[in-house]
Amino acid sequence: MSLTNSLEKYFGYGKFRTGQEPLIHSILEGKDVLGILPTGGGKSICYQLPAVLLPYLTIVITPLISLMKDQVDSLHEYGIPAAYIHSGLDYTEIADIMAQVDQGTLKLLYVAPERLNHPGFLSNLPSKISMIAIDEAHCVSQWGHDFRPSYRQITDFIDSFSTRPIVSAFTATATPLVQQDISDQLGLKQPETIINSFDRPNIRFTVVEPDSKSKELMNYINDEEAIIIYANTRKNVDQIYERLLKADYNVCKYHAGLPQEQRDHAQNQFIFDECNIIVATNAFGMGIDKTDVRRVIHYNMPTDLESYYQEAGRAGRDGLDSEAILFFSAQDIISSKRLLEQSQDPYVNKRLDAMIQYANSTSCLRKFILNYFDESYQPPCKNCSSCLNEFEVIDVTKEAQMILSNIVRMKHGFGMTMVSHVLRGVSNDKIVRNGFDQISTFGLMKDASENYIKDIISRLLAENHLTLNEYNGLVITKQAKAILFDGEKLTMKFKHYKRKANVKTKASATADDSELFEALRDVRSKLAQKEQVPAYIICNNKTLVDMANQAPTDMVSFLQIDGIGQIKAEKYYEPFTEAIIEYQNKS
């Protein structure tokens, strides 16, 4: 049987996504592999299909319980024997699973890296393991954005087998430095390395610099679509949650300060469509396989582009139109620098600079992201706020010169607010006491708003014409001379956004017949409730759209639907086709 036939038989897909087939082929030839595939790019198939075809057990190492449960539930839907072991299971449950391992009835066993040195785990494993698959492999690299020390014990676990298993490692985002570190730390043997395009063409990238983030947020949310809102602190999460709750949105919240039970409840509410908006810190999301998230909104700027792109990539995993929105303000730069000032990571400032440059970019955002991951791209993408001309670009060189001159005359490093007050001619006790009302730049920008001056300061920080001292005061750099004396220009976005409130993504209108699509979605919802699994485990939105467009009424045509394999067809043929026939009879 060919690999494509196996893919269709077990998972219901008629063709591989880019990069999947060579990775699977190499695994089946007994080679180690390193797969860098974007979120939503089909990483799990790359180890799940070989696991079905290889003779012995495959152990999947993954950091989060939510990912284990989602993937095992999905595998069970496809009729593939799989299980997971985590700290939430009791002794009897774990013993039952290890009995299945001993009997050879499981094809995949999911565990967290902490389980690998658990007493009794290794001794109860069979002597022959087909493969060890490491998901979220960037966690092994100290140069990555999410280093986890527990991943460093994976190599000892691999070496403990007398017959070394095939080792496969996968991640969504990794710079060349991190890619090499993954290979070195895991001891991969001449791995077949496939680096897919990092591009997610179905995601529209948007950067907004609103005067009021809380007011602007209301333009990007609605009552129907699944939306993740990321904030940088627990306090911000709580405030946004309370504001949306008062506005009658169906919202839940998630951060590490909440009891585990409350976090689990919020996560399940979102996954099971009991609430359509979740407000969270970056503690939420890794391993969440919810495929129909239409928007990911970052209320605050993350500290690196790797984290941002991975979190933004949680939108549109079903391949349908989605959007990733970054709310950016000058204060984000100050907050991020303050957050990272104690970091021992030598690359932290370089990564933050890239994130700031992205937020300030007036050129194609997709090109910026892909270039960061060493991938070339020819703009325009026609699917980002820059290429869609959602703002105007203005020359602020003269104003920048005024700001820099003012900071020089103030001599000691002061913050944004103090600098803007001097330029606007605000005469208060602190300004008079320091004699700033006597310097030549006092009141030089009296007609400018404070926010406007701070936006230009933000650009100067982003372009490294300004930096912060240990007290977060503004200090000019050597590069500032280029603007002050050498004729270098400075431009920035003018805040005139062409955005209508509460606009939904195009994904909901992708089906030719939206009424049939809604009828099929209702069937899926009832099946999910009956089986107590998230709706996307039954089938994702892309499968549902294909079903609505093809309207199959017999088994042969039902099996042609993208994502419907033999097992799913046998389980769900009747309820879905009955709904289609009933709809056709009414029309």
Residues 97-152: tens digit of each pLDDT:
999 999 999 999 999 998 998 878 888 899 899 999 999 898 898 766 667 788 88
pLDDT, tens digit, 9 for 90 and up, residues 412-457: 889 999 999 999 999 899 999 999 999 999 999 999 999 889 989 9
Percentage, residues of the chain above pLDDT 70? 96
With H, G, I as helix, E, B as strand and everything else as coil, classify residue 279. Answer: strand
pLDDT of residue 497: 46
Q: Around Cβ 568, how many Cβ atoms within 10 Å?
A: 22
| 52 vs 196: which has the higher pLDDT | 52
pLDDT of 509 reads: 46
Higher local confidence (pLDDT), 453 or 65: 453
Q: Which two tokens stand for residue 257?
A: 């300060």
Instruction: Quote the pLDDT of residue 504.
Output: 63
Q: Is 70 exceeded by the pLDDT of residue 252?
A: yes
In the predicted model, is pLDDT for residue 373 greater than 60? Answer: yes
Share of the chain above pLDDT 90, in %: 59
pLDDT for 499 beyond 70 = no
Whether pLDDT at 323 is above 70: yes
Instruction: Let me know the angle formed at the C-alpha of 118 by 117 and 121, rounded to the nearest 5 degrees.
Output: 100
Q: Which of 243-252, 261-270, 471-480 has the highest mean pLDDT?
A: 243-252
Residue 203 pLDDT more than 80? yes
Two tokens at 408? 């020089």
Q: How many angstroms separate the CA atoms of 340 and 301, rounded?
A: 13
pLDDT at position 511, please? 65
Confidence of residue 345 (pLDDT cuts 50, 70, 90): confident
Mean pLDDT of the chain: 89
State pLDDT tens for residues 10-30: 998 888 988 999 999 999 999
Query: What does the pLDDT average to over 345-357?
Result: 87
**Over residues 531-559, mean pLDDT:** 91
- Residue 149 CA: distances (Å) to CA of 61, 170, 177: 14, 17, 18
Q: What is the pLDDT of residue 312?
A: 94
Average pLDDT, stretch 53-58?
A: 97
**Cα–Cα–Cα angle for 326, 328, 334, rounded to 5 degrees:** 135
- Whether the per-residue pLDDT at 476 is higher than 60: the answer is yes
Q: For residue 546, which amino acid is it?
A: D
- Rounded to whole angstroms, the Cα distance separating 348 from 97 reads 42
- Element containing residue 433 per DSSP (H, E): helix 429-433
Length of the chain in residues, anyone?
A: 587
CA distance 376 to 358: 16
Check residue 226 and give its pLDDT. Answer: 94
Q: pLDDT category, 505, cuts 50, 70, 90?
A: low
What confidence category does residue 586 fall into, taking pLDDT thresholds of 50, 70 and 90? Answer: confident
Stretch 322-328: mean pLDDT, rounded? 96
pLDDT confidence of residue 341: 76
> Residue 33 — very low, low, confident or very high, per pLDDT cuts 50/70/90?
very high
Assess whether pLDDT exceeds 90 at residue 157: yes
∠ CA 530-536-542, nearest 5°, is 130
Mean predicted confidence (pLDDT) in 221-231:
94
- Average pLDDT on 229-257 reads 95
Segment 179-190 mean pLDDT = 93
Q: Write down the pLDDT at residue 471.
A: 79
Q: If you average pLDDT over residues 57-67, what whole number do you get?
A: 88
211-229 mean pLDDT: 93
Choice between 50 and 391, residue whose per-residue pLDDT is larger? 50
Instruction: Say whether pLDDT at 169 is over 70.
Output: yes
Distance between CA 292 and CA 294 in Å, rounded? 6
pLDDT band for 335, please (50, 70, 90 cuts): confident
Strands 474-476 and 466-468 turn out to be antiparallel
Element (H, E) at 217: helix 213-217
Peptide bond into 81 cis (omega under 30): no
d(CA 137, CA 539): 27
What predicted TM-score, i.e. pTM, was given to this entire model?
A: 0.78
